[in-house]
């Protein structure tokens, strides 16, 4: 069964959202570099790579199902933040937004009785639980740290250890 035009368009929109996520996290990495939080910058670069992989997984899926990838424009992400906490709160909110997009895709697959796509999207649903948890955890840790420079430096060093 080929993908419906409606589902194909929705997946193309998701590719754009995943690429924007990668672009946004790369911009956040640059922000963190600019304020000498190299561990946060590293964490964001790894996040950038993950988002690119997510986009490419959708890209390949469209081709496997006989669809056509139509790349859309990606807007410029923000470049400055009030603090590490502000950037991470925006990261968490963005992951929640991406989750909502995945859920809409999943609901569309179910409505169209496209079982293969529903199964494919299950991986993304599981992944988004992990993505939201990772961002939320860092937000909560930053809140615990408060204004402690020592705490921020310790968290920065911890985030530098994230594998790629």
- Reported as a single tens digit per residue, the pLDDT across 28-45 is 999 999 999 999 999 999
Give yes or no for residue 10 having a pLDDT over 70: yes
What is the distance between the alpha carbons of residues 29 and 100, in angstroms, rounded to a whole number?
A: 24
What the block records as the tokens of 28 is 């956040």
Calculate mean pLDDT across residues 109-136: 97
Please state the pTM of the whole predicted model. 0.95
Q: Under DSSP, is residue 2 helix (H, G, I), strand (E, B) or coil?
A: coil
Q: Which residues contact 93 (CB under 8 A, 6 or more apart)?
A: none
State pLDDT tens for residues 124-142.
Answer: 999 999 999 999 999 999 9
Place of tokens 């939201």: 132
More confident residue, 37 or 1: 37
Contact 26, 117 (CB under 8 A): no
Separation of alpha carbons 10 and 102, rounded Å: 10
Q: Where are the domains of the chain?
A: 5-159
How much is the pLDDT for 26? Answer: 98
What is the token pair recorded at 32? 């963190």
Question: What average pLDDT does this structure show over 100-111?
Answer: 98
| Res 164: pLDDT | 66
- pLDDT tens track for 58-73: 999 999 999 999 999 9
Q: What is the model's pLDDT at position 2? A: 84
Q: What is the CATH number of domain 5-159?
A: 1.20.1260.10
Percentage of the chain modeled with pLDDT above 70: 99
Q: Is 89:111 a contact under the CB 8 Å cutoff? A: no
DSSP assignment letter at 65: T
36: DSSP letter: T
For residue 58, the model assigns a pLDDT of 98
pLDDT of residue 162: 85
């Amino acid at each position: 069964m080929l993908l419906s035009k409606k589902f194909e368009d929705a997946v193309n929109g998701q590719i754009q959202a995943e690429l924007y996520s990668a672009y946004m996290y790369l911009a956040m990495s640059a922000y963190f570099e600019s304020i000498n939080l190299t561990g946060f910058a590293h964490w964001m670069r790894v996040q950038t790579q993950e988002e690119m992989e997510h986009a490419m997984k959708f890209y390949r899926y469209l081709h496997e199902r006989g669809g056509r990838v139509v790349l859309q424009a990606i807007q410029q992400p923000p470049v400055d933040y009030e603090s590490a906490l502000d950037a991470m709160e925006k990261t968490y909110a963005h992951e929640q937004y991406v989750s909502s997009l995945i859920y809409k895709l999943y609901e569309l697959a179910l409505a169209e009785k496209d079982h293969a796509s529903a199964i494919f999207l299950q991986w993304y649903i599981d992944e988004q639980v992990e993505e939201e948890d990772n961002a939320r955890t860092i937000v909560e840790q930053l809140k615990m740290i408060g204004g402690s420079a020592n705490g921020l430096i310790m968290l920065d060093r911890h985030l530098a250890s994230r594998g790629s």
